[in-house]
């Protein structure tokens, strides 16, 4: 008999909408993936469905698939959910910002220049977060600092005019 762990892992209300998330962990599907796709560490496949409803009407549906090397007999569905969310938090918070505000994905710098660009954008994102003062986006933070760099320096403890 095929063994599938399935459950509703979240049902929350946001802005009048109801989000329903379901997850399936399929251990039996790992063997074909290992053999046919050549992914030796695959121990299970995960499917996550998200459905957004308002007044009983479906507004949005999305399905995502994941491959895991973790043992599904030792990791609960909610732990899988948290691990997946943690992974995407990095993508959504850091990489998205770097691409959105610094167009990092559009750069084709060769050699050490690409690494230097990455370091510079990491510094810029970190400084922008330190200087965050009620703005909605990093672009607004950058614009405020560009218009008044001395004020930005003073808010971080630099009182001299040498910034």
Within a 13 Å sphere around the CA of 46, how many CA atoms are in the beta-carbon half?
25
Interval 105-156: pLDDT, tens: 777 767 777 778 778 888 877 777 777 767 777 778 778 777 777 776 666 5
Q: How many CB atoms lie within 10 A of CB 38?
A: 8
- The model's pTM: 0.55
Interval 59-70: pLDDT, tens: 999 999 999 999
Cα(7)–Cα(5) distance, integer angstroms:
7
Interval 29-84: pLDDT, tens: 999 999 999 999 999 999 999 899 988 899 999 999 999 999 999 988 888 888 88
Q: What is the pLDDT of residue 103?
A: 76
Short-list 156, 159, 97, CA closest to 127: 156
């Amino acid at each position: 008999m095929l063994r599938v762990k399935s459950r509703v892992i979240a049902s929350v209300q946001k802005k009048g909408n109801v989000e329903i998330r379901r997850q399936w962990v399929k251990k039996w599907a790992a063997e074909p993936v290992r053999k046919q796709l050549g992914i030796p560490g695959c121990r299970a496949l995960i499917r996550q469905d998200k459905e957004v409803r308002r007044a009983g009407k479906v507004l949005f549906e999305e399905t995502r698939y994941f491959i895991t090397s973790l043992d599904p007999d030792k990791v609960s569905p909610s732990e899988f959910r948290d691990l997946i969310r943690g992974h995407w938090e990095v993508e959504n918070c850091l990489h998205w910002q770097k691409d959105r505000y610094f167009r990092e994905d559009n750069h084709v710098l060769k050699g050490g220049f690409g690494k230097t660009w990455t370091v510079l954008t990491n510094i810029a994102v970190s400084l922008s977060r330190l200087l965050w003062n009620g703005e909605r986006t990093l672009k607004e933070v950058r614009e405020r600092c560009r218009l008044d760099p001395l004020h930005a320096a003073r808010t971080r403890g630099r009182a001299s005019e040498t910034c």
